[in-house]
Amino acid sequence: MRFAERVDQMRGQGASAWGVHFAALELRRSGRDVILLTVGDPDQAPPEAVIEATVQSLRAHRTGYAPITGYPELRSAIAQRVSQRSGQPCAADNVVVVAGAQAGVYSAIQCLAGPGDEVIVPEPVYATYEGVIAAAGARMVNVPLRPESGFHPDIDSLARAITPRTRVLWINTPHNPTGAVMTQAEMEAVAALCRRHDLSLLSDEVYEDLAYARPHVSAWSLPDMAERTVVVSSLSKSHAMPGFRLGWIIAPRVMTGHLFHLLVCMLYGGPPFIQDGALVALRQELSDVAVIHAAYQDRASFLSRRLADAPRCRVTAPEGGMFVLLDIRDTGLSARDFAHSLLQQEDVAILPCEGFGPSAAGQLRVSLTAPKERLDAAATRIVRFAQSLVG
């Protein structure tokens, strides 16, 4: 059997990021008490009101085909949320419902870039970005984010990366894996670059409800950017609903028309009962969202303090998101060796960031998706492991 070249290209370097995660799952299945802090899978339950609405919809036999881009009521609710938060007009015609933010960024790039095009992405990047860009036949151009600047973008470096082949500038705020939250000034500078060079701006905002250091600034709020801005988000993190696979794309109307044709070929709409549950999440101010936000902010502060005791390690306290970054370069180990040895000796699984790009070398991403008692136990084991390296 012969395969297209893009099959290998889609795998990319990011595919190697999950090796520790899969090894940890095997150890768990063998009966070991592994503390799994590798993926951003919320440990909280979804809001009860959302679950109830979803169950009622199933019992009402809402199991047929849905409109390709989502039910009008749901798209209107998303549009109203975006308008209220951004201060800019957003209508249902600007909204396309997709199967989570991952399907959102994949669909967006398919419409924005193609063979020979370049997509500039501040790096480190989330592990799937490289494969998503390769699937469109485009080329990812990395611009490093430096630890010494808190992993905030260097606008001059972004500007120097732009060539006649550049079509898209892709940002992610709050950022995964670093937790950096872009400032208003940084967002405005990025927008200016896009206007100056006639680029599209793609903004992954899946962690928008988990900003701590400063308020989240959506790309959709930027003035004079309505015809070149695409925002992707979801309910996966804010409402602890990753298994619902409910996300959306906010885009100019001309692009949502192209997305319709893409989704006809790919998803053919989403489950009606999932959309009915999501409608409750979007129409109501659920207290669960504030509780989830407070829990992650508290966990981030707690784990950052605990990991500060690890010798020859430095903690990057997150400005947002659900991860803490641990810099272990001074231990003499690579992040991958550190993570695998930690798993074998202390039964703690955290993610080495080499697969997220060269700027993440020597960094480990520690997920906050566990109760504080479990995070405390994990921190004790990580500190003990780091002390053993010094000894």
What DSSP string runs through 245-299? Answer: --EEEE--HHHHHHHHHHHHHHT-S--HHHHHHHHHHHHS--HHHHHHHHHHHHH
User: What is the per-residue pLDDT for 15?
Assistant: 62
**349 in Cβ contact with 24 (< 8 Å):** yes
Fold of the 65-283 domain: Aspartate Aminotransferase; domain 2 (3.40.640)
Q: What is the largest CA-CA distance in the chain?
A: 63
pLDDT for 278: 97
CA distance 152 to 150: 5
Secondary structure (3-state) at 315: strand
Residues of the chain with CATH 3.90.1150.10: 5-45+288-390
> pTM for the full model?
0.93
User: Coil, strand or helix: which one is 322?
Assistant: coil
**What's the pLDDT score for residue 14?**
60
**What fold characterizes domain 5-45+288-390?**
Aspartate Aminotransferase, domain 1 (3.90.1150)
Q: Is 179 left (phi over 0), alpha (psi -120 to 50) or beta?
A: left
How confident is the prediction along the chain (391 residues), in pLDDT tens digits per residue? 887 777 777 766 666 667 889 999 998 999 999 999 998 999 999 999 999 999 999 999 999 999 999 999 999 999 999 999 999 999 999 999 999 999 999 999 999 999 999 999 999 999 899 999 999 999 999 999 998 888 999 999 999 999 999 999 999 999 999 999 999 999 999 999 999 999 999 999 999 999 999 999 999 999 999 999 999 999 999 999 999 999 999 999 999 999 999 999 999 999 999 999 999 999 988 899 999 999 999 999 999 999 999 999 999 889 999 999 999 999 999 999 999 999 999 999 999 998 888 888 899 999 999 999 999 999 999 999 999 998 7
62-65: long-range contacts (C-beta < 8 A, 24 or more apart)?
62/272, 62/273, 62/276, 63/271, 63/272, 63/273, 64/272, 65/268, 65/269
Under 8 Å CB-to-CB from 71, ≥6 apart: which residues? 97, 272, 275, 279
Where does the chain show beta strands of DSSP type E?
A: 35-37, 95-98, 118-123, 139-144, 166-172, 200-204, 229-234, 247-250, 314-316, 323-327, 348-352, 363-367
> Reading across the β-sheet that carries 200-204, which strands appear in turn?
95-98, 247-250, 229-234, 200-204, 166-172, 118-123, 139-144
Q: What is the pLDDT of residue 339?
A: 95
Q: Give residue 46's pLDDT.
A: 95
| 3-class DSSP assignment, residue 206 | coil
To 5 degrees, how large is the angle CA 236–CA 240–CA 244?
A: 55
Start-end of CATH 3.40.640.10 domains in the chain? 65-283
